[in-house]
Amino acid sequence: MKITQVESFKQSVTLRHPFKISFATIYELQTIIVKVTTDTGVVGFGEASPFEPVTGESIATELVALDALGAALVGVDPRALERVHNVMDATMLGHTAAKAGIDIACYDILGKDSGLPLYQLLGGDSNQVVSDYTLGIDTPEAMASAAQEQVAAGFTVLKVKVGDDDQQDIAAIRAIRAAVGPDVELRIDANQAWTPKQAKRVMRAMGDDVAAVEQPLPASQTQDLPLVRALVDQPVMVDESVHSATDAFKVLAAGGADIVNIKLQKAGGLWGATQINAVAAAAGIPVMLGCMVETKVGIAAAVHFVAAHQNARYADLDAFLDFASPSWLHGGFTHVGGIYTLSDAPGLGIECDL
C-alpha cells in the first residue's frame, strides 16, 4: 500500500457563543480536514487544527506545510507510521498541526486496512470514555448558569477557564459550586495567566472546591512549576509546557507536574501522543487528552487514544459541542452527556463527504 495523494480542505464554522480564555477569545472554528488516498483505494481522514498562540502555527502556514509534506509522502506506506514521521520530520521542523492531520489519517487507514476500530488496534478493550465540559470565562452568574445546564445534560466533570481577574475567578468557582452541588468535579485552567504567588493565593481561596489546576504559569516559566506544586494543595496539570516527549521528560524529571495534558495538535498526532504518554506512565504520572477547537475528526482520534490507554485517565474533548455538526461529517462516536461511545467501524469510524 502506498500514498498516492494528500489533500487539504479548509473549513470554517461560527461557534454558538464566543469562547474566552485568559489570553484570547475564539469566535469560530477554523480547521483543515486532511484526506490521504492510497493506491489500494483505502482513504483516511485526519484534522490539522492549529492554534497560533500555542502551536505558533496558522491555517495559512499549515496549508503550505501540508502541500510540502504530502508531496514528500507520495509512495510511502501509510501503515509504516515511524517511516511516515521520519519523512515528515526530515521535510520540515515543527508544523505539528499539519503533521497531526496526516498522522491521524494514516492511523485511520491502518484501522480500515486491518478491519478494526482504532481503539482496538491500539490495544484497548472498551469503547467508552468520560469527558469533561469546559466553561469559558464570563461573569460568575453566567458561568454558574452554564454549569447547571451542562450538569443537567449529563456532564459530571467541568473544566473552568480562569486567569482574567483573580477575584472574579474565585467568585465564579464559588458560584459554580453552589449551583452544581458537591458531587461535580471542578478543574480549573489558568492558561499561563499566573505567577507562583497568584497561584498560591487563588488556589488557597478556592480550596477543596477545585480538584486540579492546569497550566498556572507561562510556558516560558516552566522551570518554576515545582515551586507552584509546593505552594498549592491541588494537583498541577501541564498543557502548554509540554509539546513533545522530551518536554514531558524535562518537566516530570524536575517534579513540575502531577498530570500531563496531551493534545494531538501539539504532539504531531497519535504517534507523538503515544511517546508522551509512555514517558508520563514511566514516571507514574497520568495524562489527559485535550483538544483545540476541532471537529469530531480530530476529537474521535483522541477519544480512541483514551479508550486504548489505561494511563489516559482524563479527557477534555468537548470542542465539537460548541458548533453545529458540519453536514459533510458523519460517525465517529455518540455521546450522552459526558459519556462517549465509539463506533466499532474500522479506523476512526468517521465518514467525510469531501
Q: Which of the residues are catalytic? A: 161, 263
Residues comprising the chain, all counted: 354
Q: Choose among 63, 36, 87, 107: nearest CA to 271.
A: 107
Smallest CA-to-CA distance from 188 within 179, 174, 353, 196 is with 174
Residues 170-182 as b/e (b if ≥16 CB within 10 A, e otherwise) read bbbbbbbbebbee
285-301: b or e for each residue (b if 16 or more CB lie within 10 Å)? bbbbbbbbbbbbbbbbb
Sign (positive or negative) of CA dihedral 83, 121, 273, 294? positive
Q: For residue 20, give the nearest of 336, 322, 326, 347 by alpha carbon.
A: 322
Rounded CA Rg of the chain: 20
Angle, to 10 degrees, between the axis of helix 270-282 and the axis of helix 96-114? 90
CA distances (Å), origin 132, targets 8, 160, 231, 318: 30, 10, 26, 7
239 is in an annotated binding site: yes
Q: Kindly report the number of other CB atoms within 10 A of residue 14's CB atom.
A: 12
330 forms beta bridges with 351
d(CA 47, CA 273): 15
Position 317: which residue type? L
Annotated ligand binding at 113? The verdict is no
Whose grid coordinates read 505552594? 231
Annotated binding site: 189, 214, 239
Annotated binding site for Mg(2+): 189, 214, 239
